[in-house]
Amino acid sequence: MHMVEFIHTVETKKNAREALSDLWKAAVKRNWVVLGDHDFSGIVGDANTEVKSIGICQAELARLFIRAEPRTTLCMPCNVVIHSQSGVTKLMAMKPAVMLPELFEKSLSNLKIEADRVQRELIEILEAAK
């Protein structure tokens, strides 16, 4: 599987801080819960690079996955990464409808519609924040 198949990426002209703020607002607007955000910029050690992440969750759907397969919590919350370098900012997230079946094929076979919904809403959040 190629990376482009399981990661959704959008580019924005916003800086990392603005993108993080807009991701937060877009998630809340769609009734997702924001579980926190992190700044990895200091770890990178490059003054021209910012790396942030935000953990978001659609609790109603997450509950279905956890009940079907408790190990799906290894993929939760949905993590969105904001990577900004040389004036280019990218928002990236894994595609749940692609990744979850790869990891938990048998136990999640009856939750395809729900996985598609999580992925669709997650992509809408990224697109709204760009």
Split at pLDDT 50, 70, 90, the class of 33 is: very high
Domain ranges of the chain: 3-129
Long-range pairs for 102-106 at CB < 8 Å and ≥24 separation? 102/1, 102/6, 103/71, 103/72, 103/74, 103/75, 104/69, 104/71, 104/72
Rounded Cα distance, 112 and 96, in Å: 10
**DSSP 8-state class, residue 111:** G
Measured from the Cβ of residue 69, the count of other Cβ atoms closer than 10 Å reads: 17
* Residues 41, 83: Cα–Cα separation, whole Å: 9
Q: What is the pLDDT of residue 1?
A: 57
pLDDT at 44 over 80: yes
C-alpha to C-alpha distance for 94 and 100, rounded to whole angstroms:
10
* The CATH number fitting domain 3-129, selected from 3.30.10.20, 3.40.50.2300, 3.30.310.70, 3.40.50.720: 3.30.310.70
Residue 32 has pLDDT above 90, yes or no: yes
Residue 114, both tokens: 């729900």
For the stretch 64-86, pLDDT in tens is 999 999 999 999 999 999 999 98
55 pLDDT band, cuts 50/70/90, is very high
pLDDT of residue 71: 93
pTM here? 0.91
Mean pLDDT of 14-40: 96
